[in-house]
Amino acid sequence: MNKLNIVSLCLFLDISDALNYLQQPVGRKTGGNLFSQKVKSAIINGIPSRQRLFYVKVKTDEGKDFCGGTIVDIQWVITAAHCVAFKEASNLRVLVGDFSDPETDLVEHSVVSLHIAEGFEMSARPLNDIALLKMTAPLSGRVHVLPLCSEWLSPADKLATCGMGTTTGTGKSFEIPEQLQEANFNLALYFFDELSSLTQCRDDNVCVYDNIQYSNICYMDDGGPLYTFWCGTHQPECLYGVASYSLAKQKAPSARCNYGSFFASVPYLYEWIVETVTLN
């Protein structure tokens, strides 16, 4: 297949999906498409991820809870601001390695400085929910730098997230996977909130809808990556968002993380991210 045919195939997939999914709100049951029929996965009730060496765990010296993160420079990791906003950099640790392999040896790194995005506000639905962590030294071990997405996507574009968070969302018991999980999404311009009201996605957020019903980020997926793919492949291209929060449907009080996933937008804060890394 030559380059022209590959480009044509990508355009065909984008146009086909746009006709089926354009402005599809989050929270509504969706059907399959050519892409999702072949690639179905979820962090809740999901399947193991492919190798994603840009994914990291961010944790503190004490406690078992953690957040996800993404390597965006050999000495920098991006995560959710709400994960680290009230922490000291010296108490944070970043674990890197191949999380798709349960037998892999992880390498721990310490953090020298912590940078919270301008305009961050802590709430149930945080604003500008991005933070940058600078390591005390360049990252070592099995690592890969994922470039930042600087451009906005169209509603037909395919996205995915990965994480080591809980694979159940009942609120009564939690299961942590032994290996990295992945979920596939499509971009949405609107979403249904807990009261089933149609709401426009905020500028600082990336709203998505699931390829299979009730695929969501959940506890301890916070801070993890949302990424685009190179055309026609499963190879991540660039970082488009940072896992921020998920909603629970009001009629299901025993369940959590079952009504939409929301990410802090990297293109929205792109200039701040680049400036922070460059000047520090």
Q: Which has the higher per-residue pLDDT, 137 or 257?
A: 137
Residues of the chain with pLDDT > 70: what percent? 72
Put simply, whether the predicted model's pTM sits higher than 0.85 gets the answer: no
Query: Residue 257 pLDDT more than 60?
Result: yes
Length of the chain: 280
Whole-number pLDDT of residue 96: 96
Rounded mean pLDDT, 154-181? 77
State how beta strands 181-188 and 47-48 pair.
antiparallel
Rounded mean pLDDT, 56-75? 90
Query: Residue 53 pLDDT more than 70?
Result: yes
Q: Which has the higher per-residue pLDDT, 191 or 262?
A: 262
List the single range of 198-207, 223-232, 243-252 with lowest mean pLDDT: 243-252
- Where does residue 144 rank: exposed (0-12), middle (13-18), buried (19+ CB within 10 A)? middle
Whole-number pLDDT of residue 211: 76
- At CA 6, angle to CA 240 and CA 11, rounded to 5? 60
Q: Which has the higher per-residue pLDDT, 4 or 262?
A: 262
Domains of the chain from N-terminus onward: 9-50+146-265 (2.40.10.10), 55-145+270-279 (2.40.10.10)
pLDDT tens digits for range 77-128: 999 999 999 999 999 999 999 998 988 899 999 999 999 999 999 998 999 9
Residues 6+ apart with CB under 8 A from 178: 102
Whole-number pLDDT of residue 251: 53
Rounded mean pLDDT, 231-253? 82
> CA nearest 273: which of 99, 84, 70, 98?
70
Phi, psi of 11 (to 5 degrees): -65, -40
Query: Residue 254 pLDDT more than 60?
Result: no
CB 120 within 8 A of CB 104: no
